[in-house]
A and B are shown apart, each in its own frame.
Chain A
């Protein structure tokens, strides 16, 4: 697990939180996280844990937390599996800027990229029984703003904190 751990970079003046640190001191503070990870799911999970903590520290819960959790899972799976095709020589770069009001996450892979407009719509009747192709749909449904650049290799997504409102 440790070998697959993310490398944190950047923002040396205001370092992101360490594991096991007290939460109260950083509640509600803007957090900037940056990771470069190998194309491994275990490394992706570690990134998710770190971002989850930053979200919780900034008061994200309920529907917002669920949405970001799902979108981040899909984005990392896309980058690791479909972008980098699990190539251990390729990296995934993730940044997250978390404030009490919103979160902005970027996920960039080193794969061939893709054209969003050419991805088939998985909700069409003829595609309903296909086993893949729903990750992008879910990201776009659950986040407030989603853009792709660098030939489809970098995803940028934003979610506004709805302050714990839940559909359940």
Chain B
């Protein structure tokens, strides 16, 4: 049986889950659904989930990926949690700016700044 690489890797700092993406392209529908399901499971593990998404590996992302991130954001908010984004490369950040999702998400230049913003 073929081994599949998990779509994200997760580490923890205090009560904050830090998520990194294992693929540099978040484009593919199946990959996006996989990431969404994995994030969904993380979010539903407890109340007040705190998630930091680190985009340092991401070079490409589609509107479907943005939809998945919005869905995760909505789920986190339903559980009174917090979501922060960091290390978004300039080309990808431009996608957030064009879609004005930089107004919806809390985006920080560095991981340290993002971590410091959690309450």
Contacts and interface: CB of A to CB of B under 8 A. Distances in A.
B58 interface: no
B100 A128 contact: yes
Interface in B59-103: 60, 62-64, 66-68, 70-71, 73-74, 89-91, 94-95, 98-101, 103
Nearest to B101: A128
Contacts of A134: 63, 66-67, 99
Contacts of B67: 131-132, 134
Nearest to B104: A128
Interface string A149-168: 00000000000000000111
Contact of A167 (B64, B94, B101): B94
Contacts of A137: 63, 98-99
A66 B74 contact: no
Contacts of A81: 29
Contact of B70 (A41, A66, A77, A129): A129
A41 B64 contact: no
Interface residues of B, number: 26
Nearest to B94: A167
Contacts of A130: 70
B1 interface: no
B91 A167 contact: yes
Nearest to B72: A131
A46 interface: no
Contacts of B29: 41, 77, 81
B34 interface: no
Contacts of A123: 99-100
B70 A63 contact: no
Given A73-B27, A167-B94, A138 B89 contact: no
Interface in B37-71: 60, 62-64, 66-68, 70-71
Contacts of B27: 73
Contacts of B113: none
Contacts of B30: 41
Given A66-B91, A167-B90, A168-B91, A131 B70 contact: yes
18 contacts: A41-B29, A45-B28, A73-B27, A73-B60, A74-B62, A77-B62, A77-B63, A122-B99, A123-B99, A128-B103, A129-B70, A129-B104, A130-B70, A131-B67, A134-B66, A134-B99, A167-B91, A167-B94
Interface of B: 27-30, 60, 62-64, 66-68, 70-71, 73-74, 89-91, 94-95, 98-101, 103-104
